[in-house]
């Protein structure tokens, strides 16, 4: 887009072009200079990454030179023969842990290197990309120099200092109580405030308040923590297409920056925002299935008819958005979807999308042209390597994928690289007992690791408490 305004470099009024990265405008003469400067900065970042690669190789080849090992060596010298065996055991533990740590860092490094290659290949980059890459390099450099999960602990003795290796454990949510607590609904499928009718997408805030897309009641309800009934915060004015009405809303997210809610108003083919009972349409004429928002404020919408996921920048909903997954027609190839629904976005802006009619969950890295099957993909079925019309998807801190296996009435967890999943809750037949589900849809964790499931055909939200 051009307009006559001052060039940032020469300050003359000409037709100028805006750089998306720095938001500065340049004339036709000086835009190539700016592009050249960006190329030079990318080369500098590439050089830093190459230097870091050498550092990784050095530490992989010489793990005994790490500062933690040197501390153990000094302790061994001071304690002589009495602690030689202990020192040997500790070294082995540290080396094994360091190798695991380095391999993990190397994997992150390789992922970032692929991003750089993609930027170079596509020739589409700006200062935002450079800031992200520089910050990521600084982060993994700190991880390599000072592993956060290993430390030395010494216990004072009369003649030596006894040492041991402390390996801090990552938070892992492995097991939940199999009998759930109903925290919303469960009182029939009508429209009283203590009832739900076909709940789908759910969102839980830091205070454990639950926001529910009460689909067949055409409303969004909020259930405060430990409340006996909910309150309507959007819709609830009958099924319709007025601005104050909803038509089978399927998902809801809370925009933490302005405390508004964003709704996939699927029956009206629109995405709407409600803020203090005021409404506005953000995106029109879209077969919106589900929503997600990343840490940068980008909004992602799955379109179940166009079989794609599009992304919008906050405040720029008047354009068509950018296709970030799918968009190649209906099908089962790695660049296609067949009725995409729920979306999860991780820290790296990679997308996890439930591909419902292909009975699989796909992962699309940022900028990727094709996805990768992360769960299912072996046809419609109830075996542990299969899914049946999956819906909700969420990924934990360890990269473990949790899927609402809609047609199998269970929640199943898949670890990357595994050929089959494991049932974590449900899977006890279709029913309304505390250990049963009936067509589960939306999923969510709270900040303590408790697991919430929108139990669609039981018209309730189930909370499975974590076992610590």
Structure token digits, residue 435: 């250990």
86-90, 346-350, 414-418, 426-430: the lowest-pLDDT one: 86-90
Q: Where do we find the tokens 């049946």?
A: 388
**Contact 445/394 with Cβ under 8 angstroms?**
yes
The DSSP secondary-structure symbol of 69 reads: H
Say yes or no to pLDDT of 185 above 70.
yes
pLDDT tens-digit profile of 88-103?
Answer: 888 888 888 888 888 8
Sheet with strand 270-275: strands edge to edge: 251-255, 260-265, 270-275, 278-284
Say yes or no to pLDDT of 30 above 50.
yes
pLDDT tens-digit profile of 255-273?
Answer: 866 789 999 999 999 999 9
Strand partners, 323: 310
Domain 181-464 classification at class level: mainly beta
The Cα 29–Cα 22 span in angstroms is 18
In percent, the amount of the chain with pLDDT more than 90 equals 55
The Cα 404–Cα 179 span in angstroms is 17
Tell the burial category of 95 from Cβ atoms under 10 Å away from its Cβ (0-12, 13-18, 19+).
Answer: middle
**H-state helical runs in 372-462:** none
Task: Name, of 9-18, 68-77, 126-135, 181-190, the range with top average pLDDT.
Answer: 181-190
Stronger pLDDT, 154 or 134, i.e. the higher one: 134
Give the pLDDT score at 282: 95
pLDDT tens-digit profile of 165-175?
Answer: 776 655 566 79
Say yes or no to pLDDT of 1 above 60.
no
Say yes or no to pLDDT of 316 above 50.
yes
Domain boundaries, the chain: 76-167, 181-464
128-142, 261-275, 282-296, 367-381: the lowest-pLDDT one: 128-142
Stronger pLDDT, 367 or 155, i.e. the higher one: 367
Stronger pLDDT, 145 or 210, i.e. the higher one: 210
Give the pLDDT score at 363: 95
pLDDT tens-digit profile of 230-245?
Answer: 999 999 999 999 999 9
In percent, the amount of the chain with pLDDT more than 70 equals 95
When pLDDT is cut at 50, 70 and 90, the band that residue 150 belongs to is: confident
The DSSP secondary-structure symbol of 81 reads: G
Task: Name, of 36-50, 168-182, 427-441, the range with top average pLDDT.
Answer: 427-441
Work out the mean pLDDT of the chain and round it to a whole number: 89
The DSSP secondary-structure symbol of 170 reads: P
The Cα 53–Cα 113 span in angstroms is 10
The Cα 343–Cα 201 span in angstroms is 11
pLDDT tens-digit profile of 381-413?
Answer: 999 999 999 999 999 988 899 999 999 999 999
When pLDDT is cut at 50, 70 and 90, the band that residue 159 belongs to is: low
Contacts (Cβ under 8 Å, ≥6 apart) of 365:
111, 348, 350
pLDDT tens-digit profile of 105-115?
Answer: 888 889 888 88
Q: Could you tell me the pTM of the whole model?
A: 0.67
State the number of CA atoms in the 13 A half-sphere of 330 facing the CB.
Answer: 9
**Contact 27/18 with Cβ under 8 angstroms?**
no
Distances (CA, A) of 406 to 113, 152, 331, 364, 393: 37, 47, 21, 22, 11
The three-state DSSP-derived secondary structure of 304-333 is: CCCCEEEEECCCCCCCCCEEEEECCCECCC
Say yes or no to pLDDT of 157 above 60.
no
């Amino acid at each position: 887009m051009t307009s006559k305004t001052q060039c940032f470099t020469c300050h003359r009024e000409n037709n100028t072009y805006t750089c998306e990265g720095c938001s500065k405008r340049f004339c036709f003469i000086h835009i190539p200079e700016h592009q050249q400067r960006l190329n030079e900065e990318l080369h500098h970042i590439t050089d830093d990454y190459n230097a870091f690669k050498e550092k990784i190789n050095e530490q992989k080849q010489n793990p005994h030179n790490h500062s933690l090992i040197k501390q153990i060596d000094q302790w061994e010298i001071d304690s002589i023969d009495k602690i030689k065996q202990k020192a040997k055991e500790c070294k082995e533990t540290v080396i094994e842990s360091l190798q695991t740590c380095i391999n993990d860092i190397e994997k992150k490094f390789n992922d970032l290197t692929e991003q750089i290659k993609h930027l170079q290949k596509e020739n589409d980059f700006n200062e935002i990309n450079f800031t992200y890459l520089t910050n990521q390099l600084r982060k993994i450099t700190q991880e390599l120099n000072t592993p956060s999960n290993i430390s030395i602990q010494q216990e004072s003795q009369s003649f030596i200092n006894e040492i041991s290796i402390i390996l801090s454990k990552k938070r892992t949510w492995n097991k939940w109580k199999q009998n759930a607590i109903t925290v919303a609904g469960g009182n029939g499928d009508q429209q009283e405030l203590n009832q739900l009718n076909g709940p789908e997408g759910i969102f839980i805030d830091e205070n454990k308040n639950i926001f529910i897309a009460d689909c067949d009641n055409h409303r969004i309800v909020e259930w405060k923590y430990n409340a006996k009934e909910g309150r309507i915060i959007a819709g609830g004015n009958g099924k319709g297409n007025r601005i104050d009405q909803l038509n089978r809303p399927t998902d809801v997210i809370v925009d933490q920056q302005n405390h508004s809610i964003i709704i996939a108003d699927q029956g009206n083919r629109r995405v709407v925002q409600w803020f203090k009972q005021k409404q506005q349409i953000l995106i029109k004429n879209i077969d919106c299935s589900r929503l997600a928002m990343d840490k940068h404020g980008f909004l992602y919408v799955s379109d179940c008819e166009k079989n794609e996921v599009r992304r919008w920048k906050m405040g720029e909903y008047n354009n068509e958005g950018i296709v970030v997954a799918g968009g190649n027609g209906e099908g089962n190839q790695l660049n296609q979807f067949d009725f995409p629904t729920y979306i999860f976005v991780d820290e790296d802006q990679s997308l996890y999308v439930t591909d419902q009619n292909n009975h699989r969950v796909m992962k699309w890295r940022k900028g990727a042209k094709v996805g990768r099957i992360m769960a299912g993909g072996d046809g419609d079925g109830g075996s542990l390597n299969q899914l049946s019309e999956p819906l909700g998807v969420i990924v934990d801190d360890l990269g473990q994928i949790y899927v609402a296996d809609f047609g199998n009435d269970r929640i199943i967890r898949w670890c990357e690289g595994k050929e089959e999943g494991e049932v974590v809750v449900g899977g006890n037949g279709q029913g309304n007992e505390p250990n049963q589900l009936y067509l589960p849809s939306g999923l969510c964790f709270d900040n303590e690791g408790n697991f919430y499931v929108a139990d669609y055909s039981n018209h309730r939200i189930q909370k499975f408490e974590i076992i610590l």
